[in-house]
Chains A and B, each alone.
Chain A
Amino acid sequence: MISTTDQPASTAQTAIADASAATGLSSYDLPEKPLVTIVPHRSWVPLKLRDLWTSRELLYFLIWRDIKVRYKQTVLGAAWAVIQPLITMIIFTFFFGKLAQMPTEGVPSPIFFYTAVLLWTFFSNGVTNGANSLIGNSNLITKVYFPRLIIPAAAVGAGLLDFAIASVLLVGLIVYYGFAATWSYLLLLPIIVLTTLLSLGVGIWFSALNVKYRDVRYALPFLIQVWFFVSPIIYPSSLVPAEWRWLPALNPLTGIIESFRAVLFGRELPWNALTYSAALTLGMLVYSSYAFRRMERSFAELI
């Protein structure tokens, strides 16, 4: 085998002469520092938020692709975004509202259920789509470099449009049941952002885990189902006996859903629960982003 240690020096020099003579150009001035340095990493790596920011157009295009593809060749198109939560709400109103006489804190049961179903549909779809996003985009991961976090982020982000469409029905219900919109409705925005971030935090973590452990695909629907029942969707938190109320409050969605309802129905916000949810959400998002970055190095080899 030919040694490569002494050979390159001479050949490189002839090539330098060749290249500059042949093209006579050096339009590109080399920067002092390399734009890209490739070295093996150990364990934790920085998030590189700047890389994410530079790739924001790709994020936009991937969201746009997900939305576009979802509604291609569907007859009802974007109406699906409303149909799903609407039918769920009707079923809940019938079974839990009419038959089971579930207390709804003095609010008509359709709007009581719809508020939570709307938020839950967005959240759970975000987690599910986010978790499966890396596997679904394996062709990209093995062929192109870009910050991998973009993929689960796009999957969660694509759900925002569905959420917006389904919200139209909520507006209708608010008007129909005569709730007065006030300035406090502006608080809905940070609550929705919080839901998105929580969905992102959970989705990112599962997406990375899903690459390594394919069990995630089977475990996730079950987890989502459990999460549904421990969240105050088909029941108000006040139904839980006072001494046990801390237990459902551990679930960050509890504070989010309760706050969402409180704002819409003109009640006092559960600030403690909301603060806890926000803190946990941010903690989750930071942790899962770092965990994702740590695992992403092996994505292309495992997927």
Chain B
Amino acid sequence: MKPIIKVSNISKKFRITPGEAPSVRYDTLRESLVKLIRSPFARFRHNGADDTVWALKDVNFEVVPGEVMGIIGPNGAGKSTLLKVLSRIIEPTTGRAELYGRVASLLEVGTGFHPDLSGRENVYLNGAILGMKRREIESRFDEIVAFAEVERFIDTAVKHYSSGMYLRLAFAVAAHLDPEILIVDEVLAVGDASFQKKCLGKMDSVTQSGRTVLLVTHSLGMVQQLCRRAILFNEGRIYKMGPVDEVLSCYDQLCNPPRVSPEA
């Protein structure tokens, strides 16, 4: 079978300015002008290698249709960067990825939810942001509201929702997306225990339906339950890829080496 996701040699380099907080890394116009006047050719010079970091380096893998691929690894391993590249939010520095299907990415639940709008309005807005057509949202509206269990409050502004209700509604919209490829980052564990169970059940049925899913999570239990294969990332590279049990035990060794890992 042909792969539905084909990632070849994807690398992503981030520039980091030493000694500067990430929040002030944007330039001001004045600084740029001053720099330009002081050293007009500096922009053509190559930067030293020390102020860059490879968040992803030479990542290669393929996913076949219907597969649920777990992506695990310690913090800063490049998992989220990979998902952002595949979601077209950031561009890779080198490499190529091909996606043979419509993609929906859930890097967060409730993206674009506006506190002043009602639950109903937010379902439409969020659905549109996630790439649903208005007709699709209309036809699934009742289902979404029922799944979220917020029928009584659907016309209340979501700022008056409890945080659990808010997350349930947000997840419900996302869960009713219908793309061929679903890219999910750590959004499943929302709400109380019973709703989490419902979410997992929904994910199960999504994966049963033949959807291709890329799933980033720190919940190893979830990976074990939902995925057949997994990729373990470490320091921007694929450390191990294969059947989920092998990858998980490899992760275990990576996380609990004889000495304390600096990553943790």
Q: Is B87 an interface residue (CB 8 A)?
A: yes
Q: How far is the CA of A216 from the CA of B237 in the complex (A)?
A: 38
Q: Evaluate contact between B66 and A140: CB separation under 8 angstroms.
A: no
Task: Report A-chain residues with C-beta under 8 Å of the C-beta of B145.
Answer: none
Number of residues on chain A facing chain B (CB within 8 A):
60
Number of residues on chain B facing chain A (CB within 8 A):
73
Which residue in A61, A212, A297 is a CB contact (below 8 Å) of B91?
Answer: A297
Q: Evaluate contact between A65 and B114: CB separation under 8 angstroms.
A: yes
Closest to B250 in A: A2
Q: Is B128 an interface residue (CB 8 A)?
A: yes
Q: Is A20 an interface residue (CB 8 A)?
A: yes
Q: How far is the CA of A26 from the CA of B26 in the complex (A)?
A: 47
Q: How far is the CA of A71 from the CA of B254 in the complex (A)?
A: 54
Take A11-B241, A65-B125, A143-B108 as given contacts and tell me if A40 and B91 are in contact as well, using a CB distance cutoff of 8 Å.
yes
Which B residues from 104 to 119 make CB contacts under 8 A with A? Answer: 105, 107-108, 111-112, 114, 116-117
Q: Which of A28-36, A109-117, A242-250 contacts B (4 or more CB under 8 A)?
A: A28-36
CB B184 to nearest CB in A, in angstroms, measures 12
Q: How far is the CA of A19 from the CA of B89 in the complex (A)?
A: 29
Take A146-B131, A213-B27 as given contacts and tell me if A73 and B89 are in contact as well, using a CB distance cutoff of 8 Å.
no
Q: Evaluate contact between B210 and A23: CB separation under 8 angstroms.
A: yes
Task: Report B-chain residues with C-beta under 8 Å of the C-beta of A216.
Answer: 29
Q: Is B222 an interface residue (CB 8 A)?
A: no
20 A-B pairs besides A64-B125, A139-B112 with CB distance below 8 A are A1-B239, A11-B241, A12-B3, A12-B64, A19-B1, A23-B66, A26-B1, A30-B100, A36-B97, A36-B98, A37-B96, A38-B96, A38-B98, A58-B128, A69-B116, A69-B117, A143-B107, A145-B88, A145-B103, A297-B90
> Which B residues lie at the A interface, using CB under 8 A?
1-4, 6, 10, 14, 25-30, 32, 58, 60-62, 64-67, 84-103, 105, 107-108, 111-112, 114, 116-117, 121, 124-125, 128-131, 133-134, 157, 180, 208, 210, 228-229, 234, 237-243
